[in-house]
Amino acid sequence: MDFRQDFIEFALGCKVLRFGEFTTKAGRLSPYFFNAGLFNDGDSLGRLAEFYAKAVDADELGFDMLFGPAYKGIPLVAAIAIALAQRGKNFPFAYNRKEAKDHGEGGSIVGAPLSGRVLIVDDVISAGTSVRESVELIRAAGAIPAGVLIALDRQERGLGALSAVQEVQRDYGIPVIAVAGLGDLMAFLEHHVEFAEYRDAVARYRSEYGVSA
């Protein structure tokens, strides 16, 4: 099975991905919900990091280090760095504090100094706020944002015609790599009869709010 389909199955098994009726931040009634914060034990976080590593391998994006924005990006960036190192790809990583430390080593960046091409890792892109802040931090350090790596791309419109992911690609000129997207979820539903009852609702939602690739 394709690793993207494996990821959907994994997220469902961890109850990180659920079906039902959920109100999004945009006030839309969504037939599914994804909460990456529920990857909250060692086994699930380790397996999640493996999926991120597979997405990196599949995309072949060039980068020199990893950066995880506070707070969700902090455990993610460490776990992904470990998963990549186990594949023979040892990258330095860093993350930021929400407030700069005024004692000890000081500053807002923890870990390796930001340099070269920096891949930002996060769970999802909603409003794009953490991406914007990360890009500003990376550029302020004299480094180059290389792209953004996320778990799930909902592939739905934001306030305009573009999705949050497409807006990031447009505004910063960097690629966004997702482990899986709404299209992968639809493909999963097509081939798993046990979830057939949710297929039409997700298809309607995609028809109403989805964006073209």
Question: Does the annotation flag 54 for ligand binding?
Answer: no
Cα torsion 98, 99, 102, 103: sign: negative
Neighbour-count burial of 95, counting CB atoms closer than 10 A to its CB (0-12 exposed, 13-18 middle, 19+ buried): buried
- The answer to whether 184 is annotated as binding is no
Structure tokens at 201: 């609702």
154 belongs to an annotated ligand binding site: yes
| CA 84 to chain CA mean position, Å | 16
**Residue 36 marked as a ligand binder:** no
Helix H segments across the chain?
3-13, 42-59, 73-86, 129-140, 164-172, 182-191, 199-209
Consult the annotation and say whether 23 binds a ligand.
Answer: no
Q: 22 labelled as ligand-binding?
A: no
192 is catalytic: no
- DSSP state, 41? S
15 in a labelled binding site: no
Asked if 184 and 10 touch (Cβ cutoff 8 Å), the reply is no
- Any binding-site annotation on 200? no
As a whole number of Å, the CA-based R_g of the chain is: 17
Catalytic residue among 89, 103, 191, 192: 103
**204 labelled as ligand-binding?**
no
130 appears as a binding residue in the annotation: yes
Is residue 89 part of an annotated ligand binding site?
A: no
* Identity at 107, one-letter amino acid code: G
Catalytic site residue 101? yes
DSSP assignments along 60-77, one per residue: T---SEEEE-TTTHHHHH
Catalytic residue among 89, 101, 191, 192: 101
Which tokens sit at 104? Answer: 């000890």
123 known ligand binder:
yes
Summarize the annotated binding site for 5-phospho-alpha-D-ribose 1-diphosphate as residue ranges. Answer: 25, 71-72, 97-98, 101, 103, 122-130
Summarize the annotated binding site for orotate as residue ranges. Answer: 33-34, 126, 154
Active site members: 101, 103
Summarize the annotated binding site as residue ranges. Answer: 25, 33-34, 71-72, 97-98, 101, 103, 122-130, 154
